[in-house]
Amino acid sequence: MSDVKNAIMTGQTALGIEFGSTRIKAVLVDEKNVPIASGSHEWENRLVDNIWTYTLDDIWNGLQDCYRDLVKDVKEKYDAELTTIGAMGFSAMMHGYLAFDKNDELLVPFRTWRNTITEPASEALTELFQYHIPQRWSIAHLYQAILNGEEHVKNVDFFTTLAGYVHWRLTGKKVLGVGDASGMFPIDMNTGDYNERMIGQFDELVADKGFDWKLKEILPGVLTAGENAGVLTEEGAKLLDPTGTLKAGIPVCPPEGDAGTGMAATNSVAQRTGNVSAGTSVFSMVVLEKDLSKVYPELDMVTTPDGSLVAMVHCNNCTSDLNAWVGIFKEFAESFGIEVDMNKLFGTLYNKALEGDADCGGLLAYNYFSGEHITGFEKGRPLFVRRPDSKFNLANFMRVHLFTSLGALKTGMDILLKEEKVNLDKIYGHGGLFKTKGVGQGILAAAIDTPVSVMETAGEGGAWGIALLASYMKNKAEGESLSAYLSDKVFAGETGSEMQPVAEDVAGFEAFIERYKAGFPIERAAIDSLK
């Protein structure tokens, strides 16, 4: 019997399942934390009554199909049946609103992070707490429902995130990992639990509504990485694997958000480290040594899975416009009867950008398919603009679209690095922008004037990240921190490929960002004029 098959048969494994916006993915790892099997399920959110949502059937059918795909992969690769697992964990897109009554019935359809319907609540709570409460956060959704006079609020017995909901149904435990919890309600860094002062302020704010509940009573409990968050119940095992093959009793780690699992998957949970995830949207996570000096609307304050303070720059737009332009070039080639491999096309065009002028030759672009709160736009209009004397060629054209994919991110990162003087030794890049070796990586290094590393394993993504958190809970040594476990047991010897910022490119990006900011009225005019 092979070592891997033996590990599967004896439960020397860990399973992570993550609910992404378009895909549910499962990753099974062995005792060395190496992925040995995977499964997936494609899904899409629905726009129902102007609310972005997934149904409960979507969630459970998707989870079961994803797990079934994993079981099939295990069978095909190792001729083994998955009857037990050493430990498991579930993660999902952060924030949003799933509210239940005392009979565990869902009160209103799941409101995902994508909904931008809570601006009055977000502004009021930010003012009340003197702490930035983004529109995506669960507490903003709850308070907006109160402001709207929604009937269901008086019946709320429990509300949570998607990861928290799945975990609860599979284990019976109403808990969250601290990273995911920090996107529901602010966390007190001293206690590792919700901020009691702000809890009191919220209860006082809604006291005249006469609700039967207090906020603390309806929030999930908070756990840090490594703590036991329950076991898979008999009912939970049937929910995950309706065939009845999977046995109950498997330990389950605290459920986490996708930001936290991204940090685990890139070994960036220690202070002075960070990561940038760049695909359809882009966000950075920087682990701080101390509190920031003031509240910034551009920065979300959350935590690592083990409770360290993180500043998050979350931007709605990244590569969608860039991908659309690459699609135009594909169409051009096909018009001449040339079949083009998309990987080769992306690689060729991305590398072409390296030949351009440091500042993109005076060209300007905005990648705003949707609004961008960091730069103050509620809607988006993708734009390309140039002066008659700009150096308009293919290299600069590609370069400016790569630059603008990180324009909003740089705006937020500049607050951290230049205004707050945050120390950042290294940042890890992962996601589609970094697939072409050395291009996106070099441009990010130029944007933030910081070394950027890309690891081969980062492509495994958040499902691997939550598998690592499950493995940490099961296998950690006495007193071993998450950071030490990841560095010594998972990433030992793997530093990835590092790129240092090039002075000329740093100066070029600074010149571009000044042009980018000066051009905001152009974007505003496009939004106002192109209805």
pLDDT at 426: 85
* Mean of pLDDT values over 126-130: 96
Which domains are seen in the chain, by residue range?
3-257 (3.30.420.40), 268-454+501-531 (3.30.420.40)
For 248-276, how does the pLDDT look when each residue is reduced to its tens digit (9 = 90+)?
Answer: 999 999 999 999 999 999 899 999 999 99
CA atoms within 13 A on the CB side of 456: 7
User: Residue 457 above 70 pLDDT?
Assistant: no
- Strand, coil or helix: what is 317? coil
* Mean of pLDDT values over 152-165: 98
User: Residue 1 above 60 pLDDT?
Assistant: no
Residue 145 main-chain phi, psi, to 5 deg: -60, -35
Handedness of CA 248, 254, 260, 263 (dihedral sign): negative
* Mean of pLDDT values over 188-200: 96
pLDDT at 459: 57
Distance of CA 454 to the CA centre of its chain: 17
Adjacent-strand bridge partners of 385:
364
pLDDT at 226: 97
Cβ–Cβ under 8 Å, residues 55 and 109: yes
For 506-527, how does the pLDDT look when each residue is reduced to its tens digit (9 = 90+)?
Answer: 999 999 999 999 999 999 999 9
User: Residue 458 above 60 pLDDT?
Assistant: no
Residue bearing the bigger pLDDT, 156 or 430? 156
User: Residue 340 above 60 pLDDT?
Assistant: yes
- Strand, coil or helix: what is 431? coil
Handedness of CA 413, 418, 423, 428 (dihedral sign): positive
Adjacent-strand bridge partners of 497:
454
Give dist(CA 86, CA 54) in Å, integer.
Answer: 30
Give dist(CA 256, CA 208) in Å, integer.
Answer: 34
Averaged pLDDT score across all residues of the chain: 95
Give me 127's structure tokens: 């003012």
For 270-317, how does the pLDDT look when each residue is reduced to its tens digit (9 = 90+)?
Answer: 999 999 988 888 999 999 999 999 999 899 999 999 999 999 999 989
pTM listed for this prediction: 0.88
For 197-218, how does the pLDDT look when each residue is reduced to its tens digit (9 = 90+)?
Answer: 999 999 999 999 999 999 999 9
Kindly write down the DSSP assignment for every residue of 439-481, as one continuous string. Answer: HHHHHHHHHHTS-EEE-GGGGGHHHHHHHHHHHHHHHPPTT--
For 476-505, how does the pLDDT look when each residue is reduced to its tens digit (9 = 90+)?
Answer: 999 999 999 999 999 987 768 999 999 999
Give me 350's structure tokens: 């991305």
Give me 97's structure tokens: 């609103």
For 44-91, how does the pLDDT look when each residue is reduced to its tens digit (9 = 90+)?
Answer: 999 899 899 999 999 999 999 999 999 999 999 999 999 999 999 999
Neighbour count for residue 524 (Cβ, 10 Å): 14
User: Residue 387 above 80 pLDDT?
Assistant: yes
Cβ–Cβ under 8 Å, residues 119 and 135: yes
Residue 221 main-chain phi, psi, to 5 deg: -65, 160
* Mean of pLDDT values over 103-124: 94
pLDDT at 516: 98
User: Residue 115 above 70 pLDDT?
Assistant: yes
Give dist(CA 56, CA 62) in Å, integer.
Answer: 10
Give dist(CA 218, CA 335) in Å, integer.
Answer: 59
Give dist(CA 301, CA 133) in Å, integer.
Answer: 9
Question: Percentage of the chain with pLDDT > 70?
Answer: 99
pLDDT band at residue 460 under the 50/70/90 scheme: low
Residue bearing the bigger pLDDT, 462 or 154? 154
User: Residue 162 above 70 pLDDT?
Assistant: yes
Measuring CA to CA, how many Å separate 327 from each of 347, 383, 407?
Answer: 13, 16, 22
pLDDT band at residue 431 under the 50/70/90 scheme: confident
CA atoms within 13 A on the CB side of 26: 25
